[in-house]
């Protein structure tokens, strides 16, 4: 799981490149994980924009968005900071500063591995592969079943829903 936005100039594209490389290196073991990209810019990152963005890296990446409140709550759950910084008030141009990590999360929603997104894509890939093959991520079939849906909901009281940017079911692999 990683948090970012489609207009990110550097870190997000390199992070998603690393996720793609990890999926390729994992081969059939890639089915054990669901790579998730959560937008921290719900104002600009429409479901269509998110879908096109993640598909440019790997069609297996699930892009999630939601209301600003829902995104904030999910980011807090995973200890992710983000803040919208305006460059030019007249043109309304802005950038979103955010924590940059690839988080490997277990079925109980515990962060097992946090890989800095500033690492080169090859290193991100190597660390994900090592974690998955080393048992840091549960084996297929060991996770509780989750109904097919186009939303993922963080656990907890009054947790907001995030909507998948494309029509995918998350099957029984992950729940946010």
Q: What is the 3-state secondary structure (H, E, C) of 119-154?
A: CCHHHHHHHHHHHHHCCCCCCCCCCCCCCCCCEECC
Domain boundaries in the chain?
2-164
pLDDT of residue 87: 74
pLDDT of residue 61: 95
> Does the reported pTM lie above 0.85?
no
Tokens 């081969």 belong to: 27
Cα–Cα distance for residue pair 78/2, rounded to 1 Å: 10
Cα–Cα distance for residue pair 114/21, rounded to 1 Å: 17
pLDDT exceeds cutoff 60 at 31: yes
**62, β-bridge pairs:** 36
pLDDT band at 164; cut points 50, 70, 90: low
CATH class for the region spanning 2-164: alpha beta
pLDDT in tens, 35-50: 999 999 998 999 999 9
pLDDT exceeds cutoff 90 at 86: no
pLDDT band at 52; cut points 50, 70, 90: very high
Given a contact cutoff of 8 angstroms between Cβ atoms, the answer to whether 122 and 149 are in contact is no
| Choice between 174 and 99, residue whose per-residue pLDDT is larger | 99
What number is the average pLDDT over the span 133-161?
Answer: 41
């Amino acid at each position: 799981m990683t948090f970012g936005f489609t207009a990110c100039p550097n870190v997000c594209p390199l992070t998603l490149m690393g996720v793609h490389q990890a999926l390729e290196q994992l081969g059939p073991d890639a089915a054990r994980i669901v790579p998730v990209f959560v937008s921290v810019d719900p104002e600009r990152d429409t479901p269509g924009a998110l879908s096109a963005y993640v598909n440019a890296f790997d069609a297996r990446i699930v892009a999630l968005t939601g209301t600003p409140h829902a995104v904030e709550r999910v980011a807090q759950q995973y200890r992710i900071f983000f803040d919208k910084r305006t460059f030019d008030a007249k043109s309304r141009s802005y950038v979103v500063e955010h924590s940059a990590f690839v988080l490997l999360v277990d079925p109980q929603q515990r962060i097992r591995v946090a890989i800095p997104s500033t690492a080169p894509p090859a290193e991100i890939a190597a660390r994900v592969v090592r974690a998955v093959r080393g048992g840091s991520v549960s084996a297929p079939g060991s996770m509780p079943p989750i109904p097919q849906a186009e939303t993922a909901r963080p656990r907890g009281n009054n947790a907001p829903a995030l909507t998948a940017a494309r029509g995918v079911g998350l099957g029984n692999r992950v729940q946010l």
